[in-house]
């Protein structure tokens, strides 16, 4: 266990989501997201997965490390992968975007599927909330001997 907090993959929030809703994963390439990846992140190995590799832009540009990306076409690829995931597994109640580069499309996917969508940004926001809880002001933020001792 690290002495420093580490949040390295959106998959790390998978077990928390699974505890609330049946989750499916959208990734850049479903064939390369293995059972071992899921198990290492604490995600059930039989979690449904769909990839954007059948699309025309997202996988090509991201895995090809392209300098340019057709954002509309990339969004369509993410939406199509989400649709395919839900069509194949209609019991899914939430989607987890495994690829960090999919975060800009989370809102569109959530609106399109009418489901909660989680990504690296939601994970970091949750993680940061624990590191730096919200200050609700007085009286909770008044000086305390234990707070001033540092």
> Which domain range does residue 104 map to?
10-134
61 phi/psi in degrees, rounded to 5: -70, -40
Q: How many domains does the chain have?
A: 1
Per-residue pLDDT tens over the stretch 98-114: 999 999 999 999 999 99
What's the CATH number where 53 sits? 3.40.50.1860
Q: Which 3 state secondary structure label does DSSP give 37?
A: helix
All residue ranges of the chain with pLDDT < 70 are: 1-2, 146-150
Per-residue pLDDT tens over the stretch 72-107: 999 999 999 999 999 999 999 999 999 999 999 999
Is residue 65 included in any domain, yes or no? yes
């Amino acid at each position: 266990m690290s002495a420093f907090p580490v949040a390295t993959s959106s998959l790390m929030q998978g077990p928390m989501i699974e505890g609330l809703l049946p989750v499916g994963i959208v990734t850049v390439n479903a064939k390369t997201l293995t059972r071992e990846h899921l198990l290492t992140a604490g995600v059930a190995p039989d979690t449904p997965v769909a990839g954007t590799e059948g699309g025309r832009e997202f996988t090509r540009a991201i895995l090809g490390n392209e300098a340019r990306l057709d954002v509309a076409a990339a969004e369509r690829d993410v939406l199509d992968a989400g649709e395919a995931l839900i069509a194949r597994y209609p019991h899914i109640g939430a989607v987890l975007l495994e690829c960090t580069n999919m975060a800009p499309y989370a809102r569109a996917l959530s609106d399109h599927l009418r489901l909660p969508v989680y990504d690296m940004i939601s994970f970091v926001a949750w993680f940061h909330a624990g590191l730096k809880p919200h200050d609700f002001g007085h009286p909770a933020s008044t000086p305390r001997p234990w707070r001033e001792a540092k």
